[in-house]
Amino acid sequence: MTDLATRATPARPGALRRAAPALLGYAAVRALGLVVLAVWSAARGKSAYTLLTARWDALWYVRVAELGYGYEVRLPNGDVHSNLAFFPLLPWLERLGATMTPLSYADAGFVVSLLASLAAAWGIFAVADHVYGRRAGVCAVLLWAVLPVGIVQSMAYSESLFTALAAWSLYAVLTGRWVTAGGLALLAGLTRPVGLAVVAAVWAAGIAAFLRSAGTGALARSGDTPAGARGGVTVALGMLLAPLGAAGYVLWVGHHTGKGPLGYLDVQAGWRNGFDGGYAFARFVAEKFTSFPSALAGLGLIAGVGLVVWLYVVCVRQRQPLPLLVYAGVVTALALCASSYFGSKPRLLLPAFPLLLPLALALARLRTSRSALVAGGVAVASAVYGAFWLNGSGPP
């Protein structure tokens, strides 16, 4: 990553105006998805709003917001599902919204998700615009919106909130705003376990900045000056802030459960979730080839994983800035190598937006009419799939 990529840069005038096409396009795609979901759900006698706010993780977050931590479900097989597995920032915001407005906890979660999804779209645009230009930024946002599991961005889940914090933290790193980057990484670490990816990105960029300064002698030459000392202090402060959110919650869980620093791992084990290097997922895929119909699903899974890996390789070849590569790599590794909830993997990959930048560059090279046609067609397919998925078994 070049010095230009990490030194402080002034904010561009009219930042919201510059991002407006991306945000309007994003809002249009998400509105289409919600309309299709409402029509599909009504045809099946279901409530689209209930599907968005009172299913799976959304129920657990509401329970934390309403009753606090300590609730658990003991299954017949001996597994213990504890709400300590869910990080606290989203339920805190749900409680705040329910306290300050007439909204219920579920309503507040839905509003937080909608606002956070717009903030995430803006953050993705800011990152892509900074690295590749405005047109690529718009395309990156549209691609994130039309992902097959894009409907999750409108659910009372934590993916949109986390992606917003991660994207803006990465943008702060790229523009040399280290304290802001560290503070946002701290909040991301209070949102999801994968906040580790944002921490890793901030630390990788900070270490690289110190190594570059040491290698050029800039640190030694500027150390006696207020500006030079201040620069080094802000980098260090950002790095120190970054892990405090995730570390604080994990240590609190360990204290709360009486199991020490590794107590959170025991909580995850109760959900049969852990990190096994992808062994369980590989077995899950292999089992699909035991019969013909399921073999097609197995081929689809292999193709999907291959696509994700290929996109990351392209990101490396295109020399994306170091923090983006580290962030996307950690998110991808944690998603693919988790040992449980295989149906959740597409959702777990949702925050890995830097993987979309090669596709955004390709889409940006097309004529506007052609790129709009491609994005529109994929948006319709994504809306239909999201409605089908949410009215079926997904998303866990």
Is the Cβ–Cβ distance between 330 and 196 less than 8 Å?
yes
What are the helix (H) ranges across the chain?
A: 3-6, 15-43, 48-53, 57-67, 89-100, 105-132, 134-145, 159-174, 178-189, 195-216, 218-222, 226-241, 244-257, 263-270, 279-287, 292-317, 322-336, 345-348, 357-364, 368-390
pLDDT in tens, 158-172: 999 999 999 999 999
Strand partners, 247: none
pLDDT per position as a tens digit, 100-141: 999 999 999 999 999 999 999 999 999 999 999 999 999 999
Radius of gyration of the chain (CA): 21
Handedness of CA 173, 177, 178, 184 (dihedral sign): negative
pTM: 0.91
Tens of pLDDT along the chain (396 residues) come to 434 344 445 545 588 899 999 999 999 999 999 999 999 999 999 999 999 999 889 999 999 999 999 898 888 887 888 999 999 999 999 999 999 999 999 999 999 999 999 999 999 999 999 999 999 999 999 999 999 999 999 999 999 999 999 999 999 999 999 999 999 999 999 999 999 999 999 999 999 998 887 766 544 443 444 445 567 889 999 999 999 999 999 999 999 888 888 889 889 888 888 777 777 788 878 887 887 787 887 888 889 889 999 999 999 999 999 999 999 999 999 999 887 777 788 899 999 999 999 999 999 999 988 888 998 999 999 999 999 989 987 655
Tell me what pLDDT residue 224 has. Answer: 42
What distance, in Å, lies between the first and last C-alpha atoms of the chain? Answer: 37
How long a stretch of residues is the chain?
A: 396
Quote the tokens at residue 298.
């197995």
pLDDT computed for residue 229 by the predictor: 52
Q: By the 8 A CB rule, do 395 and 56 touch?
A: yes
Q: Structure tokens of 143?
A: 């691609």
pLDDT of residue 5: 41
Kindly state the tokens that stand for 170.
């990465």
User: d(Cα 21, Cα 68) in Å, to the nearest integer?
Assistant: 40
- What residues pair up with 350 in beta bridges, in sequence order? none
Instruction: Give 371-396 as a DSSP string.
Output: HHHHHHHHHHHHHHHHHHHHTTT---
